[in-house]
Amino acid sequence: MENGAACQELLARLAARKAVIGIVGMGYVGQPLALRFSQVGFTVLGFDIDCQKVSELNGGRSSIQHVDDTEVAAAIESGMSVTDDFSRIGEVDAVILCVPTPLNKYREPDLSFVINTCDAIAPYLRRGQVVSLESTTYPGTTDEEVVPRITAGGLVVGETIFAVYSPEREDPGNEKFTTSSIPKVVGGHTPACLEAGVALYSPAIDHVVPVSSTKAAEMTKLLENIHRAVNIGLVNEMKIVADKMGVDIFEVIDAAATKPFGFTAYYPGPGLGGHCIPIDPFYLTWKAREYGVNTRFIELAGEINRAMPRFVFDKLVSALNDQGKALKGSKILILGIAYKKNVDDMRESPSVELMEVVRDGGGIVSYSDPHVPKFPKMREHTFDLSSVDLTPETLRGYDAVVLTTDHTKFDYAMIHQNARLIVDSRGAFRDFYPAVVRA
């Protein structure tokens, strides 16, 4: 009787919007989600280990470019607060985990952030809470890693505490879709857990999509991103073939996209970036080995995509050679180092890998990115650089510029008019061919 009461009490608090929502990890995923819950009337308590970020958010300042300070300030005014004190987990009714799930140096899943966070919150969990993992991971993570940790103190999942998996779906820089308008997949460890998960997200998300289990929800997220990774791998391989044949791959894609059925346009680039698409496929390939399955198709696409920065580098070296210059000692300007256009997100950016290859090859590398004024601290990459202002004078001072991220703010006509050599990996200078090297 008491077990059923825990679920009903939680559902009632969520329905009345009297529940306190805890968001662990106030980054690119957690911050917009926290703001959305605040906007629909919930009290929100954010958690983050970064003291500077905690201070900024409590002061009404956003730490993410595409989240406006006014939104954060409005949420703080409405009662949202952020802390680095995990003992306050007991104050919330819902615990939503939005922490990183990178790969280690062997390209295997690194669940240390998930595991360490679960261990940090476990002593403070109480009866009647719902714990939702949003981090992208392999099927089985919620059941195998999260549930044992949140029940270690005696709570019973599905009875006195509720575990769900609901993968984050964010597309930074895409104004067509917001946190509220992107459908939310939710899977529960038990039917009662699923009911709690649906009740948690329904007030804040326009359309909640329940699935039969946490594994199904985890697999859904992987399929979404593997679909993109494989198709981008295909079009990147097509780009290499088209380049050898002297065919403009962007013209081919645009022509193919006129077919009103059976074709979706994907565009090539210098490689994959972001926190999902370059990483998520390898979570599945790693887990699939446990079942004796080799995911050859997925791994092949990964090999192609990982090779693209080197392809762009080779085009740069060849273009310099055609002008009688060696890479060593040449001044190279990388245009755009965020992983996609019009955002400041640097995670897994192929531009950074290209910068390292150029530097290791003896080139003097600089960058210009209107969204990244100073090269940030990164776990695996180190550059003491700031963004170069693009002017006719500065452009003429470089032996080559390489477009890797096609931000809207770039003045492409001015760049084309003043750069000595342009290597274009995004097709942004198509109208200026043949004076541009395609990569």
pLDDT tens-place string over residues 304-316: 999 999 999 999 9
CA angle centred on 99, ends 98 and 104, rounded to 5°: 150
| Statement: residue 3 has pLDDT above 80 | no
Share of the chain above pLDDT 90, in %: 86
Which residues have a Cβ under 8 Å from the Cβ of 330 and sit 6 or more positions away?
320, 363, 364, 399, 400
Predicted confidence band of residue 103 (pLDDT cuts 50, 70, 90):
confident
What pLDDT score was predicted for residue 1? Answer: 38
| Statement: residue 322 has pLDDT above 60 | yes
Q: Which of 7, 118, 193, 276 is an active site residue?
A: 276
Rounded Cα distance between 68 and 63, Å, is 9
Beta bridge partners of 131: 95, 163
| Statement: residue 320 has pLDDT above 80 | yes
Q: What is the pLDDT of residues 176-186, one digit of tens each?
A: 888 999 999 99
Q: Is 276 a catalytic residue?
A: yes
CA angle centred on 381, ends 380 and 387, rounded to 5°: 150
Q: What is the pLDDT of residues 339-383, one digit of tens each?
A: 999 999 888 899 999 999 999 999 999 999 999 999 988 877 789
Q: Are 274 and 340 in contact (CB under 8 A)?
A: yes
Show the domains of the chain with their CATH numbers: 2-212 (3.40.50.720), 239-438 (3.40.50.720)
What pLDDT score was predicted for residue 434? Answer: 66
* CA atoms within 13 A of residue 223's CA, in its CB half-sphere: 8
Q: What is the pLDDT of residues 135-163, one digit of tens each?
A: 999 999 999 999 999 999 999 999 999 99
Q: What is the pLDDT of residues 25-70, one digit of tens each?
A: 999 999 999 999 999 999 999 999 999 999 999 999 998 888 899 9
